[in-house]
Structure 1
Amino acid sequence: MMTKLGFAAISLLMATAAHADTQELTVSMLLPGNIADHGFMEAGYNGLLQIQKDFEAKISYVDGIEPKPELLTAALRRMAADHPDLIIAHGGQNNKATEQVASEFPDIQFVVVQGNVTGPNLSSYEVLQEESAWLAGAAAGLLTQTDVVGHISGIRVTPGLKGRGGFYNGLMHTNPNAKFLTIFAGNQDDNQLSARVAQAEMDQGADYIFTMLNAGRQGATDAMRAKGAKQFGNVIDWTKVDPGVFAGSAIADVSIPSVEAVRDFTSGAWKPGIVKAIGLENPKAVSLVLGADVPADVKARIDDLRQQIVADQIDVSTEYEGPEMPL
């Protein structure tokens, strides 16, 4: 006898395969932040626009939701009430809320971008930003003059923790004697806060700082410019935006996972219960960009390390069990 789970899985597969014959695909996205943050949330929104263009989908989105589980859950329930074909929750902070709401709406398929949750109608798609973060840490270890390197992020979510861990282990690979300063300040979008914590790290000697921030990045950037410290950004190529401050950028194009999820969905290849990962083997998705003033020998060393990661000769650890700075 077939189980209820078996019926659900077959129903989902039939639904995805049948989309080639439907007139319009409906996709909704939850973005718990500002879609004009020049970072993670804007990249997610750009992915949604690409979905609209590539698949002629009818799209809708909700942004600006504070990343609290009860608020995310309520927003997802409102979206599910409209019965779109696919709901994409952008960001690992949506893990628990999406897992809950997906169980309440078994006939809707859900995807978490940069998530790690699965279910009978739920999968996660992620770009491995920890791999480009590892390379950024390795570069910082080669470039630092003070042997003090910092990291700043806002909320403590799985992708942020993995990125911090990747950066730290890359730093230790090239400069095991470096002092590492790290903080999760509690907010991705507060420029006054990010300026204050950047200043605190620089006061302890940090001359390179890896920032995993959204709209709050500018505060850290302004503080570092005034002090003469250098920054590694993430998500997009910040060396083009502000080459005077950014030594590099750990690119992880988080617009790609949602597009890949919809491509799988429309082709019938989408599967529930999996986490699909995209790493350095796809340089359009994951890469480290270094500024024009980074010495050629450092760039060559980083490229060699990149090749070793792709060849599985280096294991990119995301573990970090050291101290954190107090807020």
Structure 2
Amino acid sequence: MAAGLLAAAPLAALADDSKLTVSMLLAGQIDDKGFMEAGYNGLTAIRDELGAEISYIDGIKPEPELLAGALRELAEKKPDLVIAHGGQNNEAAETVAAEFPDVKFVVVQGAVTGPNLSSYEVLQEESAWLAGAAAGLMTKTGTVGHISGIRVKPGLKGRGGFYHGLMHTNADATFLTTFAGDQDDNELSYRVASDEIEKGADIIFTMLNAGRTGAIEAMREHGVNQIGNVRDWYPDHPDVFIASAIANVSIAGLEAAKDLAEGEWQGGRIVKIGLSNPDAVSLALSPDVPEDVRTRVDELRQKIIDGEIEVSTEYDGPELSY
């Protein structure tokens, strides 16, 4: 377990001129170049933009009792806000928020509420839906894959969104999907990606953290394209990534802290942030994507914003197991 504390200038917006204090729990590594790093970036933005004093705990395994213990450690110091980054914190946050009624709690990508508990959710399923639609338009083999690690609700919703986007543009496509059990295991992701490639996938959507490297290596070896998530991966690996379903989850924690600083934070609600905020949710396409695909994806994006397309997140089809 690693912990850190950073401080900045006082927050003038607070009525008593005291410094806003915000703590964050990250069930993973702050340098995973994915979901956890985005959460940490959101925390440093809280420091830089709001002048808050921040602290964090990272490196916690996503097990409810361990997460609850880390949340208690943060809450015992009585910060103004405790942010639990990731839907895997739902159960632990409900438990610990009830134990500390005077502390405000937020779960990023969560689905839980309480008198002093809210969830702020960046709708990654909307960019995942567009990613699936793009994959359906670009696959040459007619087989498209998906790989994730642990079965948390946001990951399940992202997988469901991707599947329905794929079916929207290519109803005859074969869909291969797995939750392999670990977000950070590169040996596992290499093996799973290789298996999906052997089964015919020429585009694979990955929702991984530090374990993404193994999938990248497998796809590079076989000349298969990857669609990333959370941030734009094309600049790092232009030979592999054809698109990225961006869900800038750093914005969720920052929005929660802004609401608190401005006196607008409320317990008992789920705040949703989707494609209508392009800084938060979008699909980044590589320069190699044909113009007709770009045009179609943009049309579909607007239909989602306008409510003409409802993004379904359900999936009850077959899964690969490892």
Scaled by the length of structure 1, the TM-score of the pair is 0.94
Find the aligned partners of 2:73 and 2:53 in 1 and give their Cα distance. 17
Residue by residue, what CA displacement relative to the aligned partner does 1:176-207 show, whole Å, maximum 9, x if unpaired?
A: 00000000011000100000000010010000
SS in 2 for 1:59: strand
Counterpart of 1:69 in structure 2 is: 64
Find the aligned partners of 1:177 and 1:139 in 2 and give their Cα distance. 14
The residue type equivalent to 1:200 in the other structure is D
The residue type equivalent to 1:111 in the other structure is V
Counterpart of 1:41 in structure 2 is: 36
Note the 1:113-152 alignment, pairs <5 A: 113-152=108-147
Counterpart of 2:5 in structure 1 is: none
The residue type equivalent to 2:136 in the other structure is G
The residue type equivalent to 1:284 in the other structure is D
Q: Are 1:246 and 2:241 an aligned pair?
A: yes
Superposed displacement of residue 240, structure 1: 1.5
Q: Are 1:220 and 2:215 an aligned pair?
A: yes
Counterpart of 2:229 in structure 1 is: 234
Of 198, 203, 221, 2:198 maps to: 203
RMSD (CA atoms): 0.8
Higher helix share: 1
SS in 1 for 2:23: strand
Find the aligned partners of 2:294 and 2:19 in 1 and give their Cα distance. 47
**Count of residue pairs the alignment pairs up:** 310
SS in 1 for 2:308: coil
Find the aligned partners of 2:15 and 2:293 in 1 and give their Cα distance. 49
The runs of 5 or more residues in structure 1 that have no matched partner are: 1-17
Residue by residue, what CA displacement relative to the aligned partner does 1:70-127 show, whole Å, maximum 9, x if unpaired?
A: 1000111111111111000000000000000000000000000000100000000011
Of 154, 160, 166, 1:159 maps to: 154
Find the aligned partners of 1:266 and 1:287 in 2 and give their Cα distance. 27
Superposed displacement of residue 23, structure 1: 1.6
SS in 2 for 1:169: helix
The residue type equivalent to 1:79 in the other structure is L
Find the aligned partners of 1:317 and 1:242 in 2 and give their Cα distance. 30
Of 17, 23, 45, 2:18 maps to: 23
Counterpart of 1:4 in structure 2 is: none
The alignment-based identity, stated in percent, is 66
Contact kept in structure 2, 1:116 and 1:275, CA below 8 Å: yes
SS in 2 for 1:238: coil
Find the aligned partners of 1:316 and 1:243 in 2 and give their Cα distance. 29
Counterpart of 2:186 in structure 1 is: 191
Counterpart of 2:297 in structure 1 is: 302
Q: Are 1:177 and 2:172 an aligned pair?
A: yes
Of 62, 65, 75, 1:80 maps to: 75
After the TM superposition, list the runs of 4 or more consecutive aligned residues in structure 1 that deviate by more than 6 angstroms: none
The residue type equivalent to 1:52 in the other structure is R
Residue by residue, what CA displacement relative to the aligned partner does 1:29-80 show, whole Å, maximum 9, x if unpaired?
A: 0000000000000000000000001111111000000000010001111111
Find the aligned partners of 1:70 and 1:262 in 2 and give their Cα distance. 26
SS in 1 for 2:196: helix
Find the aligned partners of 2:52 and 2:306 in 1 and give their Cα distance. 37
The residue type equivalent to 2:179 in the other structure is F
Find the aligned partners of 2:185 and 2:23 in 1 and give their Cα distance. 27
Counterpart of 1:273 in structure 2 is: 268
The residue type equivalent to 1:80 in the other structure is A
Superposed displacement of residue 22, structure 1: 3.3
The runs of 5 or more residues in structure 2 that have no matched partner are: 1-12
Counterpart of 1:14 in structure 2 is: none
The residue type equivalent to 1:319 in the other structure is E
The residue type equivalent to 1:287 in the other structure is S
Superposed displacement of residue 21, structure 1: 1.9
The residue type equivalent to 2:141 in the other structure is T
Find the aligned partners of 2:17 and 2:180 in 1 and give their Cα distance. 46
SS in 2 for 1:219: helix
Find the aligned partners of 2:64 and 2:179 in 1 and give their Cα distance. 18
Counterpart of 1:5 in structure 2 is: none
Of 48, 51, 59, 1:56 maps to: 51
Contact kept in structure 2, 1:20 and 1:267, CA below 8 Å: no
SS in 2 for 1:251: strand
SS in 2 for 1:218: helix
Superposed displacement of residue 19, structure 1: 3.4
SS in 2 for 1:240: coil
